A and B are shown apart, each in its own frame.
Chain A
Amino acid sequence: MAIPLTWYLILAAALFCIGFYGVLARRNAVPILMGVELMLNAVNINFLAFWRYVRPEEPVGQVFAIFVLAVAAAEAAVGLALIISIYRTRKTINVDRIDLLKG
């Protein structure tokens, strides 16, 4: 046990924050989607870390991680499709200007 659990958690939290910062700060929709991918992977690290350190006899964490990967792939596909669709109608993918729901 050379590396304690905490390190993994700090890594995952840092990764999540970087991803979340990207989601909040970027104007372009494609990097926002990339930020979401970072956040999902941060969660995956958490799952695997907790599985390995807390309850290695049950592979629940692993299964979840695989689910998240599959869902992330689907999410990326759908997200990119939406971005292309938005681009076709509005000629932009700048999220500041995609504000149809403005009250």
Chain B
Amino acid sequence: MSESIFNLTWLIPLPPLLAFFAIILFTNRNKRLSSNVAIGAVAVSWILSWLVAITFFVKPELVEHPFDVVVPWIPTATTTFNMGVAVDAVTAGMLFMVGFVLTMIFVYSSGYMTFPGHLDPSLNTDGLDPRYSRFFAYISLFATGMLGLVVSNNLLMLFIFWEIMGLCSYLLIGFWFEKKYPDPKQITPKEAGLKAFLTTRVGDVLLMIGLIFLYIQAGDLNFQTVFSGDTLQRIAESTVNLPFFGEASWAVVISVLIFFGAIGKSAQFPLHVWLPDAMEGPTPVSALIHAATMVSAGVYLIVRMSPIFVAAGHGENGAMTFVAFIGAFTALFAATIAVAQNDIKRVLAYSTISQLGYMFAALGIGAWVAAIFHLLMHAFFKALLFLGSGSVIHGVEHGHHHANEHGDHDKGFFDAQDMLNMGGLLKRMPRTGWTFIIGGAALSGFPLITSGFWSKDEILSDAWANGHALVFWTLAIAALLTAFYTFRQIFLTFFGEPRSEAAAHAPESVPAMTVPLMLLSVFALAGGWVGIPEHFPGLGALLNNPMGRLMGGQAEFYKLHYETLPFHVFPVAVSMTVALGGILLAWLVYGRKPLKAGEPDPLQVWLGPVHTVLKNKYYFDEFYHATVVRFARWFADLCYSFDDRWFIDPIVDGVGRVGRWVSNALRRFIDEPIIDGAVNGAGLVTQAAGSVVRLLQTGQVQNYLLVLLLTVLVLLAMIQFV
């Protein structure tokens, strides 16, 4: 019975796809119907996902026989691309998370997508966004992409769904494409969408090259084939001579190229620049695509491809070290930027980059299970935080409207996302506030009760136990900063006195938005309990780490390194200290003496120029503008000159000129004298003959009769006398 449930797997991505077409083609005139179609479809997917996931969870022995079904798809000359779905422990875990988070965010969106403030209010007919239906169509298509990516059993399908998500990300970041800001340097949604699409494209192209190499080497892109011992051995042993790098095994080349795809999608250094600007999209999109699902697809890809990374070796130049380095560096780097941001969503965006860096660092040091654990937990609490911030923004925007209706018409630009304009919102929005605090505590890794603590602690313990001291301390400092900026955000937003009229009048959001928040906060807290290490005093024995057992079993099936770690006090103590220390620091700076309206951020006063550098994100945007963008423009200009001025156009013009000259000559020497002469001559001869002969034609019938008579007489005479 349970086996047959897996036959439903291929159905999981379908309902949202059908909803997409249904909305685009039929129901788009009716906004409420469209949102209900989308929510209904994704709910079906959710139920199917949980059926499949839970069936897998209750039968842990299935890790030895992952479900895999294949149908032929594209026949090529000698081989066939297959299409299929597979379910193993990782897929099951992802399905569990993705199905639930998708549904929550769809429901939330139905409440969130009200009439946006930047449009002319006279267009407001029903209080909903004018493109409400289109929004649901896009996120339905996105849901197809994410669910499809999770269940596919080969890299080709995975790549296709990966790109579908990239497309949806572009469309949704630029969803309010007409929005403009008074400051011309502030990025608009349209530009942000392009930036995201082009930046991830860098990674995607490298990923595709990696997949092509893998296909050449392995002969197939099916996970089963790729991860078979033979293939792994072959790509680990066959080497290639690279320019600049010297000799490297194919496994290293392929895994580094694939990792670049993940760097782009998961916004890791140096391709991290698009994610903070992606916050220009509607907040549910930020929560769904740019926090919980699409950006974690990069991590998922590396989790999937881990056997190849392991085959590439742990050596000094191994791909794993590269992954660990990029991950740990990004974790710290993004956390420092997040400290100095004032936009509520940008703080979360940098925190997402930082947490994804955590996962890559974990994968890089071989903590496969811990990375998956953190990936799932992070998705829950980061989706919660983003949705909470959306609810806050909504409330502040409504408060702004409300304040403006009563007298003092402040027509100046009001930034509803600036935390310095908030404060004291816990009283105005208790449900949003408390769930946000739960999410924030989980992100900070508040000890023992939150999911974030357990997942982060597992990564730190793993790093410590396996002797990666550098990674350990980098991540520990990043965790300290994480706790600090998270609680800075909480204190600035929810505590103290309101620092603007808008914040003082902010109402609580509708139940369609707060109920998903509450459901997600359950997972943000309790989700982590499934992964408490066995050897943790007390709690470990109680709950027995089902997560670790399941994923650990799967890791062994893929011949990855996994061990149940003995309990060390030191990493746990560090992990608790940094979490609580960060929270304490934040309280000292922002909680004890809340910021008053108009006061500068104390951090700005103390850190001075350092703060300016952090606030400007280490000037990475400026740097890329000065180098990559300028180079691209220069190169495009060069191509233009090459094309239009120097080479191609002159050739085309030259060909045209020669053609004109030749035809001119033909006209003058052949066409005009010979052909035209003949034609005109024939006409002239005819005309001359006609002008002579016409004289016979008098038009007088009697003349004709006379001629007739004469002719008859002549003929008669001839008959008579000849």
| 12 CB < 8 A contacts A-B | A24-B702, A24-B705, A24-B706, A25-B702, A32-B702, A96-B700, A98-B699, A99-B700, A100-B699, A101-B699, A103-B693, A103-B696
B186 within 8 A of A: no
Asked if B709 lies at the interface with its beta carbon under 8 angstroms from chain A, I say: yes
| Contact A101–B697 (Cβ < 8 Å) | yes
Is A49 on the interface with B (CB-CB < 8 A)?
no
Encode contact with A along B678-713: 1 for CB under 8 Å, 0 otherwise: 000000000000000111111111100110010000
Quick one: closest B residue to A96, CB to CB?
A: B700
Give 7 closest A-B pairs by Cβ, nearest first: A103-B697, A99-B699, A103-B694, A102-B699, A101-B699, A24-B702, A99-B700
For the complex, is A11 an interface residue (Cβ under 8 Å from B)? no
Whether A20 is near chain B, meaning CB under 8 Å from some CB there, is yes
* Residue among B694, B701, B705 with the highest chain A CB neighbour number at 10 A: B701
Provide the residues of chain A in CB contact with B709, threshold 8 Å.
20, 24
In the assembled complex, which residues on chain B have CB atoms less than 8 Å from the CB atom of A101? 697, 699
In the complex, what residues of A have CB within 8 A of residue B706's CB? 24
Chain A neighbourhood of B702, CB < 8 A: 23-25, 32, 95
Residues on A with C-beta less than 8 A from B699 are 98-103
| Interface residue ranges of A49-103 to B (CB < 8 Å) | 95-96, 98-103
Complex Cα spacing A95 to B709, Å: 18
Complex Cα distance, B699 from A102, in Å, reads 4
- Complex Cα gap A95–B703 (Å): 11
> Which residues on A sit within 8 Å (CB–CB) of B696?
103
**Complex Cα spacing A103 to B695, Å:** 6
How many residues on A have C-beta within 8 angstroms of the other chain's C-beta atoms?
Answer: 13
Other-chain contact of A99, B695, B698, B705 (Cβ < 8 Å): B698
In the complex, what residue of chain B is closest to A32 when comparing beta carbons?
A: B702
Nearest-neighbor residue (CB-CB) of A27 within chain B? B702
State whether B705 touches A23 (Cβ < 8 A).
yes
Q: Are A102 and B697 in contact (CB under 8 A)?
A: yes
- A95 and B700 CA atoms in complex are apart in Å by 7
With A24-B706, A24-B709 already in contact, the answer to whether A102 and B698 are too (CB < 8 A) is: yes
Contacts of A32 in B (CB 8 A): 702
List the A side residues contacting B694 at CB < 8 Å: 103
Q: Which A7-57 residues have C-beta < 8 A from chain B?
A: 20, 23-25, 32
What mask results when residues 374 to 403 of chain B are scored 1 for a CB within 8 Å of chain A, else 0? 000000000000000000000000000000
Least CB distance from A85 to B in Å reads 16
The closest CB in chain A to the CB of B697 belongs to A103
Question: Chain B contacts of A24 at CB under 8 A?
Answer: 702, 705-706, 709
Between B693, B696, B702, B705, the greatest number of chain A beta carbons within 10 A of the residue's beta carbon is seen for: B702
B120: shortest Cβ distance to chain A, in Å? Answer: 75
A24-B709, A102-B700 known; 12 other A-B pairs, CB under 8 Å? A20-B709, A24-B705, A24-B706, A32-B702, A98-B701, A99-B700, A102-B697, A102-B698, A103-B693, A103-B695, A103-B697, A103-B699
With a CB–CB cut-off of 8 A, which chain B residues contact A98? 699, 701
A102–B694 Cα distance when bound, in Å, is 8
Complex-state Cα separation, A98 to B699, whole angstroms? 7
Known: A20-B709, A24-B709. A95 touches B701 (CB 8 A): yes
Q: Which residue of B lies closest to A24 (CB)?
A: B702
Q: Which of A25, A96, A103 has the most CB of B within 10 A?
A: A103
Shortest distance between the CB of A95 and any CB in chain B (Å): 6
Contacts of B700 in A (CB 8 A): 95-96, 99, 102
A99 surroundings in chain B (CB, below 8 A): 698-700
Rounded to whole Å, the gap between the CB of B689 and the closest CB of chain A is 12
How far is A24 from B708 in the complex, measured between Cα atoms in Å?
A: 11
In the assembled complex, how far is the CB of residue A39 from the closest CB belonging to chain B, in whole angstroms? 11
B698: A residues at CB distance < 8 A: 99, 102-103
Residues in B neighbouring A23, C-beta threshold 8 A:
702, 705
Choose among A20, A32, A102 the residue with the greatest number of B CB atoms under 10 Å from its CB: A102
A96 to B703, CA, bound (A): 10
In the complex, chain B residues whose CB is within 8 Å of the CB of A95: 700-702
A24 CA to B694 CA in the complex, in Å? 22
* Nearest chain A CB to B659 CB, angstrom units: 48
A102 to chain B, nearest CB (A): 3
For residue B587, give the distance in angstroms from its CB to the closest CB of chain A. Answer: 117
Q: How far is the CB of A94 from chain B (nearest CB, A)?
A: 11
Least distance between A10 CB and chain B CB atoms (Å): 17
Contacts of A96 in B (CB 8 A): 700
Identity of the chain B residue whose Cβ is nearest the Cβ of A26 in the assembled complex: B702
- B339 CB to closest chain A CB (Å) equals 107
CA A87 – CA B226 in complex, angstroms?
105
User: Min CB distance, A103 to chain B, in Å?
Assistant: 3
A99–B704 CA distance with the chains assembled, in angstroms:
12
Considering the chains assembled together, what is the distance between the CA atoms of A103 and B700 in angstroms? 11
CA of A101 to CA of B696, assembled, Å? 11
With a cutoff of 8 Å between Cβ atoms, the chain A residues found around residue B701 in the complex are 95, 98
- Complex Cα gap A25–B702 (Å): 8
* CB proximity of B702 to chain A, nearest CB, Å: 5
List the A side residues contacting B697 at CB < 8 Å.
101-103
Beta-carbon nearest neighbor of B700 in chain A: A99
A102–B701 CA distance with the chains assembled, in angstroms: 10
Interface 1/0 per residue, B220-242 and A, CB below 8 Å: 00000000000000000000000
Fill in one digit per residue for B105-124: 1 if any A CB lies within 8 Å of its CB, else 0: 00000000000000000000
Q: How far is the CA of A100 from the CA of B701 in the complex (A)?
A: 11
A32 to B705, CA, bound (A): 12
Q: How far is the CB of A32 from chain B (nearest CB, A)?
A: 8
Of chain A, the residue at the smallest CB distance from B693 is A103
The residue among B693, B696, B697, B700 with the most chain A CB atoms within 10 A of its own CB is: B700
B189 to chain A, nearest CB (A): 82
Q: How far is the CB of B319 from chain A (nearest CB, A)?
A: 101
Q: Within the assembled complex, what's the spacing in Å between the Cα atoms of A1 and B693?
A: 55
How far is B524's CA from A62's CA once the two chains are assembled, in angstroms? 129
Name the distance in Å between A83's Cβ and chain B's nearest Cβ: 13
A23 to B705 CA separation, bound complex (whole angstroms):
9
Q: Which of B619-638 contact A (CB under 8 A)?
A: none
- How far does the alpha carbon of A98 sit from the alpha carbon of B693 in the complex, in Å? 20
- Whole-angstrom distance from the CB of A34 to the nearest CB of chain B? 15
The docked-state distance in angstroms from the alpha carbon of A23 to that of B702 is 7
- Residue of chain B at shortest CB distance from A99: B699
| Chain A nearest Cβ from B588, distance in angstroms | 119
Q: What residues on B are CB-neighbors of A103 within 8 Å?
A: 693-699
Give the complex CA separation of A101 and B701 in angstroms.
9
In the assembled complex, the CB of B703 is this many whole angstroms from the nearest CB of chain A, namely 9
A25 to chain B, nearest CB (A): 8
Residue ID in chain A nearest B701 by CB atoms: A95
Minimum CB–CB distance for B399 against chain A, Å: 96
Across the two chains, which residue of chain B brings its CB closest to A20?
B709
How far apart sit A100 and B698, CA to CA, in the bound complex (Å)?
A: 9
Bound complex: CA A20 to CA B709 (Å): 9
